[in-house]
Amino acid sequence: MSQQPHVSPSSLVADLEKILREFGTEAADAKRSLLDRIGSVKRMPARALAHLQDCLCFLQAYPDNARVHKAAVSLVPRLRHWLALLPDAEETAALADQGFPGAVNRHPFSYNVLRRMAARHPRCFEIEWEECEDEGPIQNALVLLVSNNECQGLDDIRLTMSSWAQACKANPDQSDLDLLLRIFEHAPLRLDERAYLYDSCSLPIRYELADPDTGRCEIRLETPRIHYQKQAISRKRFPLERSIRKELEVTGPLPKAQGEALIHVAQRALCARNLEIASLIYAHAEDCFLITCDRGLRVGLIGVAPEMRDTLESSYFFVILKNEIPIAYGPASISMGCCEMGINLFPEYRGGEIHLIYAQFMRVLHQVLGVQYYYLTSYGMGEGNLEAIRTGAFWFYRKLGFRAENADVELLAQEEEQRMAKQPGYRSDRKMLRRLSHTDAFFDISDGACQRLDLGAIGLAQSRFIAREFDGNRGEAIRCCVEQVAAQLSIGDLATWSAPRRRALELYAPLLCLLPDLESWTRKQKSDLLRIIKSKGSRSESQVDQLLLQHKRLRSALLPTTPEYIGSGPFSPGETPGEKGPDPMYSGEKPGLAGEA
């Protein structure tokens, strides 16, 4: 039997990269052969290891067959072995901040991310004091959290923060980070207050991906069944609305333990890439969904903790999994049936089935959260966004079915499409793409029923209301508004309500007091409004937006009628910018709530 000629490890990995996104029997056999040969390599240079990790990520998500999948999975543990054999620190350092198994990431992770991650991986996280340029912020924060006499130790110029932490540990094996997190955790502050105080210190964190499930290519959910990519990924267009409406099997929120597992997969996937996103930072394990779609795709939706929810938006983090491997992520904020679109695909999975991914994600948003109007801002189209211009984002979304809100841009796009039809091979140049970027874009399946709220105008109207009626005293404003709305909705004893539902009422009360006619609403309209408030404070807020959309009286009150300037719409009829004098939406000569005698 003849031996194969010697080929360097780097060449083997390069050959695998060349055929990675090719599919079919011949490609599958070639991949399997290359994986077997790579597996027999004793040492691997750092650069080749970085490329191999990307290949193994892709092959686990898009395996050609069971043999290719098994070969790829079996190589994943070898990455740590090869890392340990690198000849010097410089080679090892080349794999830093790449989520490589056994290597190191450095990032000033947020408080709530560290609370979850360090609890599960205590030996992986530590503060890098030598990289901390200014210890003043953390010292000042701790002065607010420790007992009075301890402040003298913090102020002692003979002690660095590292030496102070060493002296204060409960046991010598405790990390400095764990010590600080425990101090913050027991502080008499709300979660958001603790997070703000910690995050303002910007402590440099060393994340050693030492545990066996922390590297990028090691992160996955349990795989019930593998979908194999036996032929080339289809680039054909398909009717998007029909795909969105195709029925899905949707069950209620996951049990808490499964929700925690989904959150942990998502957080490990982002932490391995030094990424964070607000809706995941405040994840709520009791408001998680995992929806099975087509071709091995599943979409995980992760809600935020009740104490961090917004009034008129339902906020979710989403993670998209292919064969249980996280391949994409992002935020989804839904308001009145509308959701801004944007999927962040991890780089190693580019060149895959992005059109199908978008369609399935939009399908989940529609059938789980009731989204009927999808939109992108002009930034997503390329306005002030060089990456979107470079990738031709306008045409990607247009080919999906999105249309320009700006009538002039829509006309320009139609002219470009006519030019493309007449001149095969014609493509819009960057100058044209910049002209096309000056618009938001939308895909509407609501037949015009869904409209985007002007949340900025609503927020400003509430600020003006509190300033005028309560002299800027927000605590007093919330107390009085809750009292009035509770009376108008016949709520009764609020002490019987849970803390999340009381907070939901505090969110809605000032907004509802902007409406001059709440007292005259019908019993059913008030009952439906009360249902919305209770849903906002329930285990899952997945139904809140659909209830808002169905409440025609509230919806018509919130939608802008004349959006030419901030403060227009139902909150300030008759007022023009800069006009002074009594605001017609308030009654009475003395400060008080709308409608107060």
- State the Cα–Cα distance between residues 388 and 377, nearest whole angstrom: 12
In one-letter notation, the amino acid at residue 214 is: T
pLDDT of residue 155: 85
pLDDT by position in tens, the chain (length 597) = 455 667 899 999 999 999 999 999 999 999 999 999 999 999 999 999 999 999 999 999 999 999 999 999 999 999 999 999 999 888 899 999 999 999 999 999 999 999 999 999 999 999 999 999 999 999 999 999 998 888 888 888 788 999 999 999 888 889 999 999 999 999 999 999 999 999 999 999 999 999 999 999 999 998 668 999 999 888 788 889 999 999 999 988 999 999 999 999 999 999 999 999 999 999 999 999 999 999 999 999 999 999 999 999 999 999 999 999 999 999 999 999 999 999 999 999 987 789 999 999 999 999 999 999 999 999 999 999 999 999 999 999 999 999 999 999 999 999 999 999 999 999 999 999 999 999 999 999 999 889 999 999 899 999 999 999 999 999 999 999 999 999 999 998 999 999 999 999 999 999 999 988 899 999 999 999 999 999 999 999 999 999 999 999 999 888 864 333 333 333 333 333 333 333 333 333 322 333 222
- State the Cα–Cα distance between residues 439 and 382, nearest whole angstrom: 9
Residue 422 located in a structural domain: yes
Residues 327 and 370 occupy one common structural domain = yes
CA dihedral 283, 287, 292, 295 (to 10 degrees): -20
What three-state secondary structure class fits 35? Answer: helix
- State the Cα–Cα distance between residues 328 and 308, nearest whole angstrom: 24
Q: Which residues contact 394 (CB under 8 A, 6 or more apart)?
A: 381, 382, 388, 413, 428, 433, 436, 437, 441
- State the Cα–Cα distance between residues 426 and 391, nearest whole angstrom: 16
Range of the domain at 73: 9-92
Residue 551 contacts residue 529 (beta carbons within 8 Å) = yes
Q: Which two tokens stand for residue 89?
A: 């620190």
Domain boundary among 92, 124, 155: 92
* Residues paired with 314 in a beta bridge: 334
**Of residues 490, 492, 493, the one with CA closest to residue 524:** 490
Residue 393 located in a structural domain: yes
The label of the residue with tokens 């094996």 reads: 173
- State the Cα–Cα distance between residues 290 and 518, nearest whole angstrom: 38
- State the Cα–Cα distance between residues 426 and 421, nearest whole angstrom: 9
Residue 213 located in a structural domain: no
Burial class from Cβ neighbours inside 10 Å (0-12, 13-18, 19+) for residue 265 reads: buried
Domain boundary among 208, 226, 256: 208
Residue 576 located in a structural domain: no
- State the Cα–Cα distance between residues 493 and 478, nearest whole angstrom: 17
Residue 571 located in a structural domain: no
Q: What is the CATH number of the domain that holds 407?
A: 3.40.630
Residues 16 and 152 occupy one common structural domain = no
pLDDT of residue 560: 63
pLDDT of residue 594: 32
278's enclosing H/E stretch is helix 278-281
In one-letter notation, the amino acid at residue 428 is: S
Residue 435 located in a structural domain: yes
Residues 293 and 425 occupy one common structural domain = yes
* Residues paired with 299 in a beta bridge: 291, 320
Taken in order 180, 186, 192, 196, is the CA torsion positive or negative? negative
**Of residues 469, 539, 540, 541, the one with CA closest to residue 509:** 469
What is the b/e burial string over 558-573, where b = at least 16 CB atoms within 10 angstroms of the residue's CB? bebeeeeebbbbbbbe
Let me know how long the chain is.
597
Residue 593 located in a structural domain: no
Residues 503 and 406 occupy one common structural domain = no
Residues 196 and 114 occupy one common structural domain = yes
Residues 406 and 258 occupy one common structural domain = yes
**What region, left, alpha or beta, does residue 2 occupy, with left being phi > 0 and alpha being psi -120 to 50 degrees?**
beta
213's enclosing H/E stretch is none
- State the Cα–Cα distance between residues 180 and 129, nearest whole angstrom: 13
Q: Supply angle C-alpha 400, 402, 406, rounded to 5.
A: 155
Contacts of 568-571 with CB under 8 Å at 24 or more apart are 568/457, 569/454, 569/457, 569/461, 570/515, 571/457, 571/458, 571/461, 571/514
In one-letter notation, the amino acid at residue 193 is: E
Structural domains counted in the chain: 4
330's enclosing H/E stretch is strand 325-335
Residue 317 contacts residue 299 (beta carbons within 8 Å) = no
Q: Which two tokens stand for residue 491?
A: 């709520």
Residues 46 and 17 occupy one common structural domain = yes
Beta strands in 384-495 (DSSP E): 403-404, 441-444
Task: State in Å, rounded, how far the first CA of the chain is from the last one.
Answer: 100
Residue 545 contacts residue 369 (beta carbons within 8 Å) = yes
Residues 478 and 533 occupy one common structural domain = yes
Q: Which two tokens stand for residue 504?
A: 């939901």
Q: Which residues contact 335 (CB under 8 A, 6 or more apart)?
A: 312, 313, 314, 452, 453, 455, 545, 548
Residues 304 and 374 occupy one common structural domain = yes
pLDDT of residue 40: 94
- State the Cα–Cα distance between residues 249 and 218, nearest whole angstrom: 29
Residues 291 and 432 occupy one common structural domain = yes
> Angle 523-536/499-512 helices, nearest 10 degrees?
130
Residues 275 and 327 occupy one common structural domain = yes
Q: Which two tokens stand for residue 553?
A: 């009286």
Residue 231 located in a structural domain: no
Residues 256 and 324 occupy one common structural domain = yes
| Other beta carbons less than 10 A from residue 350's beta carbon | 12
- State the Cα–Cα distance between residues 126 and 107, nearest whole angstrom: 11
